[in-house]
Amino acid sequence: MLRIILILGVAALGGAAIAARSAAAASTTPARGCLAGGNGYLRATIRGAASLDVNWNNAEMECEGGPRPDGTGVRVAFAGPRHPDGRRLRLVFGVESLQEGRPARDLPTNLTVIFEGEERLFATRGDDHCTVDELHQERVGNLGGAARTWRIVARGFCVAPASSLTGDARILVSSFDFAGVAAFEDAGTAPPPEQTL
């Protein structure tokens, strides 16, 4: 039990880090909801220890994202509606080898599914279980300055399940389709104008 609490705490800290990196997106992200333009969403099919058909629209979820901690891609997180008892579902996609502003295909992806308020967490524990089949990025917000925000639109699938921390339960996210946000605050070079909105 202590191990589960500690790992959930680490997951929460990871979410806090994403939130901090997403601070630059405050002007493009509404106080409630995912994207200011109203065009965020998440759809996912989950089977196994939990059987869910997720279909969240922009207003009923929150999203955030930014570079992965090791700099090898992008992490995009989605949190669904909060139940009265505090339970909430959160999905975190770690997309490998993605470059800011560039479209891409066939990207290895790590997936973590957190059942907040239930002390349940499932993770693929590697980038070889899921794939982002197709992804494109649309520039949003202020086009000037060092902070850059992108709408990340992707679809993909998993070929192997995500396991619980104890390894005694599994879920398979057989398909996912999302539009979220990623904020970049480093001094990187923005992509050519034809790739911005």
The per-residue pLDDT for range 83-126, each reduced to its tens digit, is 999 899 999 999 999 989 999 999 999 999 999 999 899 999 88
Q: What per-residue confidence (pLDDT) applies to 24?
A: 38
Give phi and psi for 75, each to the nearest 5: -115, 130
Determine the pLDDT at residue 19.
Answer: 38
Tell me the per-residue pLDDT of 22-58, one tens digit each, with 9 for 90 and over. Answer: 333 333 444 569 999 999 999 999 999 999 999 999 9
**Cα 74 from chain centre:** 9
What's the per-residue H, E or C state across 161-197? CEEECCCCCEEEEEEEEEEEEEEECCCCCCCCHHHCC
> What is the model's pLDDT at position 69?
86
- Residue pair 124/143 in contact by the 8 Å Cβ criterion: no
Q: How many domains does the chain have?
A: 1
Statement: residue 13 has pLDDT above 50:
no
**165: which residues sit within 8 A by CB, 6+ positions away?**
3, 4, 7, 121, 123
What average pLDDT does the structure give for the chain? 82
The strand pair at 120-123 and 73-79 is best described as unpaired
Band (71; pLDDT cuts 50, 70, 90)? confident
pLDDT of residue 70: 84
pLDDT score at 145:
61
Question: Could you tell me the residue range of the domain that residue 103 belongs to?
Answer: 2-195
More confident residue, 15 or 155: 155
Of 155, 174, 156, 176, the residue nearest 48 (C-alpha): 174
